[in-house]
Chains A and B, each alone.
Chain A
Amino acid sequence: DQQVKQNSPSLSVQEGRISILNCDYTNSMFDYFLWYKKYPAEGPTFLISISSIKDKNEDGRFTVFLNKSAKHLSLHIVPSQPGDSAVYFCAASAVTGANSKLTFGKGITLSVRP
C-alpha cells in the first residue's frame, strides 16, 4: 500500500528549461509535505517543504505547489541546471500525533542535459 506515489521514474530536461516533478498521495491525514534531493552514495538532503494550509511555497529556483483536493503536489525547478541532476523524493508526514515519521515515494531521477 503505497501512500506516496511518484509515478514517473525518470525525467530528462534541457539546461535552462523548467523541470516539473509530480507526486500524489492517498492518506488524507498527511499535513506536511517535503522534497528531498539525493545523490548516489549520500543521504537525502532537504530541499523545500509545504504545509497543508498553503498551496505554494517558493525558495529561489524551487517552487512547490500543493493541490489538496487532488492530493497532488509538484516541484518546479526553473531554470534547471546540470547540478540539479539527482534523485528527488517526495515525502509526507502527519505532524499531529506522536510521530512525525516521513513516508517517501520511490523517487524520480532527474537528468539535466547541458
Chain B
Amino acid sequence: NAGVMQNPRHLVRRRGQEARLRCSPMKGHSHVYWYRQLPEEGLKFMVYLQKENIIDESGMPKERFSAEFPKEGPSILRIQQVVRGDSAAYFCASSYSFGGEQFFGPGTRLTVL
C-alpha cells in the first residue's frame, strides 16, 4: 500500500515563474493538508481540502498561492510568480477521515533562484 506521494521531490524555479507541486494521497484517503517548512522553522499549515472542496485556506498567503483537489487525480499546490521567499519544503499529508491520523509525504523542496 503506497504512502503519500509527492512530486517533484526537488523543483528549481527562477523568480517570476510558476511552481506546481503535486500530491497523491494514500489510497482511500479523501482529506489532504498542505504544510510549508521554512529553514529552521516548524511546519506551518497552509490549506485543508477534501475532494473538490477547499475546507480551510487560512494559512495560505493571500496572493499567488492556490490549491485544488479534483475529483480525479492528485492535489495541486500552485504558486504563481515565485519569489525567493517561497523557497521552502512543502509537505502534503492525507487522512482517511476528519481528525484521523495524518500521513505525510516526503515533501517537495522548492528553490527559487
User: Given A43-B4, A43-B91, A43-B106, does the pair A104, B43 have CB atoms closer than 8 Å?
Assistant: yes
Contact of B55 among A45, A91, A98, A103 (CB under 8 A): A98
Chain A, range 36-62, C-beta contacts under 8 Å to B: 36, 41-46, 49
Contact of A43 among B44, B45, B55, B105 (CB under 8 A): B105
Q: Closest B-chain residue to A4, C-beta based?
A: B42
A44 to B93, CA, bound (A): 9
Residues of B within 8 A of A43 (CB): 4, 6, 91, 93, 104-107
Q: Are B56 and A98 in contact (CB under 8 A)?
A: yes
Contact of B106 among A42, A89, A105, A107 (CB under 8 A): A42
Residues of B within 8 A of A107 (CB): 42
Residue B72 at the A interface, CB < 8 A?
A: no
Contact size range, A:
20 to 34
Residue A95 at the B interface, CB < 8 A?
A: yes
Q: Are B55 and A44 in contact (CB under 8 A)?
A: no
Residue A76 at the B interface, CB < 8 A?
A: no
Q: Closest A-chain residue to B104, C-beta based?
A: A43
Q: Are B107 and A102 in contact (CB under 8 A)?
A: no
Residues of A within 8 A of B105 (CB): 43
User: Given A46-B101, A95-B99, A106-B41, does the pair A41, B56 have CB atoms closer than 8 Å?
Assistant: no
Residues of A within 8 A of B95 (CB): 100
How far does the Cβ of A15 sit from chain B's closest Cβ, in whole Å?
Answer: 27
Chain B positions near chain A (C-beta within 8 angstroms): 4, 6, 33, 35, 40-45, 48, 55-56, 59, 91, 93, 95, 98-107
Can you offer 30 A-B residue contacts whose CB atoms are under 8 A?
A: A32-B99, A41-B106, A41-B107, A42-B106, A42-B107, A43-B91, A43-B104, A45-B104, A49-B101, A91-B43, A93-B99, A98-B56, A99-B48, A99-B56, A100-B95, A100-B99, A100-B100, A100-B102, A101-B33, A101-B45, A101-B56, A102-B33, A102-B35, A102-B93, A102-B102, A103-B45, A104-B35, A104-B42, A104-B44, A106-B41
